Amino acid sequence: MENIFDAILFAVLIAAGGLGLSSWLMLFAINKSEPAEVKQRSVFENVFFGLAGIIIMLLMWYAIS
């Protein structure tokens, strides 16, 4: 039971890392036929959520160690 906190941090680490990396991978799946404003918004959202997920993943890694 003493490692339950580490297990929760590890679950958050895996979830945030997975969502961050998948957001960055979604940059390659942007529809080129959409208007420029829609493409720009989706690029910004994917980069922001990808970076946020990676930062949260690194914070959880630091918290575990």
Query: Using one digit for the tens of pLDDT, what is the confidence trace for 21-47?
Result: 999 999 888 888 889 898 899 899 999
How many Cα atoms within 13 Å fall on the side-chain side of residue 40? Answer: 3
**26-54 b/e with 16+ CB inside 10 Å = b?**
beeeeeeeeeeeeeeebeeebeebbeebb
> Count of residues for the chain?
65
CA dist., res. 31 & res. 43, Å (int): 11
- Rounded to two decimals, the pTM is 0.84
Give me the residue spans of the domains in the chain: 1-64
pLDDT in tens, 1-28: 678 999 999 999 999 999 999 999 998 8
